[in-house]
Amino acid sequence: MEKKRCIAMIPSPGLSHLIPLVEFAKLLLQKHNEFIITFLIPTFGPLSSSMQSILNTLPPNMNFTVLPQLNNIQQDLPIEPATQMKLIVKNSVPFLIEEVKSLISKTHLIALVFSMFSTDAHDVAKQFNLLSYLFFSSGAVLFSFFLTLPNLDQSANTSKFLESCYETVNIPGVEIPFHVKELPDPILCERSSDTYKSLLDLCQKLTLFDGVIINTFTDLEQDVIRVLQEREKLCVYPIGPIIRKESNNETNMEVCLRWLENQPPSSVLFVSFGSGGTLSYQQLHELAFGLEISGCKFLWVVRVPSKNSSSAYFSKQNDDPLEYLPNGFLERTKDKGLVVASWAPQVEILVHESIGGFLSHCGWSSTLESVVNGVPMIAWPLFAEQKMNAKELVDVLKVGVRAKVDDENGIVKRDEVVKAIKGIMEGDESLEIRKRIKELSVGAANALSEHGSSMKALSDLVVKLHDY
């Protein structure tokens, strides 16, 4: 009996990278169920309950193997999340090789699909003569910049080359230049730092793959996608928007949805900073006072404050975050807002008719969820590539407003919070923003329709898989 064609997917560590890859796998099997898919999960410790829940509920034709934990490197991991993830995958390559050998013996393994920070495992595909694809869970603008970075680096002659050599950077396919400080955090590091060298190494490997699958769609990033597809030796498949259909965790589900049912349509601002974002103590208070002064209805997911804006990405927080709010805040705002600790069912919240705006860290998954549901955004980036996403949302797509940061202390003050809220919840500017994001929402639905651009890209990818 002929073995079924198998595709192995290697996600970068962390919930925000696992979710879009799992959703892509579901989409692929929904349209082309002749494949089986196995996830090979690198990790340096036990999986979070959310990750375990996702993996334990995979549909038929999908399974997973968690690679051995890398407990011995835990002390050596850098603070910066992207560098952490890349190092974890690099140290997991020997285990990955053994699993690939096992899959080859049991199945007709044809391809490996790598997440963004799993590029160090690319040689495994080459070693076993397998197709290799990069699943890029962020947008085409970021991917276009990453392709440009090695050329920028070659022309540099200073230790902090972007800050020293350039004030702005032009990204192929984008009319508006990006200020250096709007680029991903590692760009601002010394060129000799592990963080910068890790990102540069990733960017230098992007053209080695047989194809790049990008979680975006034509109407959202049309010019950038066109420029990418015109490049030689680069097969780009824009197959988005790939987002969750339902939350994998029911924590605070009932309380949030019950509260939203009692609110008027488009009246509530949803405030959340993704699966890992955190605010400092001072910023937490400024945001709280801004929400209170605005008088706007809000649903806020609060985390324990930290000076490290990505502190919740890998670490579990045990304190009660509500204890860190300003004295009397919950009592004073009980008729206007709902505050929940640590987690909320974002998928179900953003689709609810009571939601009128989304104050977001601008992670790409959250950005796509907001676009699909036609919810305008207040851009409040914290780390990684989120400043680039914010720039794209506000200045290129014009579907949101930016929470302006005070130059002296790096804090968004309460009066700026109020101004941003009114910018998307009230007035003529709000109406224009809503009109534009509703148009993008329609474009997203069209892209995933039977003859839409994303479904065509997916079909083109499947043809390549079948021909191998």
Name, in order, each residue with C-beta under 8 angstroms of 154's C-beta and a sequence gap of 6 or more: none
Q: Which token pair is 47?
A: 């999986």
Q: What is the C-alpha separation between 228 and 214, in angstroms, rounded?
A: 11
Domain ranges of the chain: 5-244+449-467, 253-444
Fold match flag (5-244+449-467 vs 253-444): yes
Q: Give the 3-state secondary structure of residue 34.
A: coil
Q: Which CATH number fits domain 5-244+449-467: 3.40.50.2000, 1.20.120.80, 3.40.50.150, 3.40.50.2300?
A: 3.40.50.2000
Q: Which token pair is 156?
A: 């540099």
For the chain of 468 residues, list the mean pLDDT of each consecutive stretch of 10. 87 89 96 94 87 92 93 64 87 96 96 94 96 97 96 75 75 94 87 88 94 98 97 93 88 96 98 90 97 98 85 62 96 97 95 98 96 98 94 97 91 97 94 97 97 97 92
272, β-bridge pairs:
360
pLDDT at 73: 63
Q: What is the C-alpha separation between 342 and 200, in angstroms, rounded?
A: 33
Which stretch of DSSP H or E encloses residue 268? strand 268-272
pLDDT at 309: 67
The label of the residue with tokens 């999340």 reads 81
Name, in order, each residue with C-beta under 8 angstroms of 200's C-beta and a sequence gap of 6 or more: 149, 150, 153
- What homologous superfamily is domain 253-444 in, according to CATH? Glycogen Phosphorylase B; (3.40.50.2000)
pLDDT at 423: 96
Q: Give the 3-state secondary structure of residue 274.
A: coil
Are the C-beta atoms of 317 and 275 separated by less than 8 Å? no
Question: In 3D, which of 326, 314, 300, 311 has the Cα closest to residue 278?
Answer: 311
Which tens digits make up the pLDDT trace of 147-179? 999 998 887 766 665 666 678 899 999 999 999
β-pairing, 5-10 with 35-41? Answer: parallel
Which tens digits make up the pLDDT trace of 308-349? 765 554 455 678 999 999 999 999 999 999 999 999 999 999
Are the C-beta atoms of 35 and 29 separated by less than 8 Å? yes
401, β-bridge pairs:
378
* Per-residue CA distances from 268 to 138, 261, 325, 362 (Å): 27, 11, 20, 18
Which tens digits make up the pLDDT trace of 361-413? 999 999 999 999 999 999 999 988 999 999 999 999 999 999 999 988 999 99
